[in-house]
Every structure is written in structure tokens, then in C-alpha cells.
Amino acid sequence: MSHATDESANADETVYEEYIMNVRIVAVDEESGPAYRFEAPEHRGIEFDDPEKAQLYADVYFDVNGFEEAGTGERGVPPIIIQAGRDTLAAYFLTRPYTNLEWVASFIGVQPGKIERYRSRVQKRATNIRNRAKEQGHT
């Protein structure tokens, strides 16, 4: 992962974080403030106000081997996220603008500390997936 400037991007856009397989987070300077857009092949860009949420979204994306949100509605969840398990679902919910740690814990029915552990598991799995892919020559 790198924090480099993409010279082909617009002047008010920079690559904030670059992952394998053409997945990246782009920092966008907007009038309302900075935004962080997640980009991946076959996935419409989605923007976040917080870079940590964008990074967690990328981790969820790698954890489930990619997903598409088109057709899920404003508050829907892609089926592959639900099928992946509670930890992935919790991490996905943490990326949504209408949630926070306490909301996710209440929704899933566990203490906030358990949600933190769920998030950590997803982040570790995503890192391992990316590292193994790099070892196998995927860039």
C-alpha cells in the first residue's frame, strides 16, 4: 500500500492508498471538504468523509473477494457480505455513514469491544489476502 500522487488524476485528486488488482482510494478535494473515493474494477466508486472508513471498506472488499453494491439500495447490504459472517457484516456496517460502533454493537447484539475484534479480524484477513496475492505475482 502506498500514499502516492497519481499524475494522471485531476489536480484536486490524489491516490491516497493503492492496493493490488487496481483497487485504490483516491483523495478528492471538494468544496464541502475532503472525500475519499474507493475505486475497483467492476465497482462503482463510493465516497467516504473519513479515510479510515474507506480503508476498512477496502479490507471488506478483499475479505469477500470483491463485491458490487449496485442494486442493493440506499441501506441495503450486498448478499456476499451477509454470507461472509458476522465479523465481515460488522466491519461493513462500520463503513456506512448512518452507523457508529455502538449502533453496530446494538444491531448485532454484542458489546462494542467485540465489534472492535470483528473489525480487527477482517483487517488482518484482508492484509493476509493481499500479501499472499502479491507473493503469487498479482499486482
Helix pair angle (112-135, 101-108), 10° resolution: 100
Is position 8 within any domain? Answer: no
Q: Is the pLDDT of residue 72 over 90?
A: no
> What DSSP character marks residue 2?
B
H helices, E strands: number in the chain: 5, 4
| Calpha distance 136→139 (Å, rounded) | 9
Report if residue 1 sits inside a domain. Answer: no
Domain tally for the chain?
1
pTM for this prediction:
0.87
Asked if 112 and 105 touch (Cβ cutoff 8 Å), the reply is yes
Residue 84 lies inside a defined structural domain of this protein: yes
- Asked if the structure places residue 3 within a domain, the reply is no
Asked if residue 62 belongs to a domain, the reply is: yes
Amino acid making up residue 110: V
Percent of the chain clearing pLDDT 70 (strictly above): 90
In a domain, 40, yes or no: yes
Q: Can you tell me the distance from the alpha carbon of 64 to that of 131, in angstroms, rounded to the nearest whole number?
A: 15
Asked if the model's pLDDT at residue 89 lies above 50, the reply is: yes
- Which of 26-35, 40-49, 115-124 is the most confident on average? 115-124
Query: Domain span at residue 25?
Result: 13-135
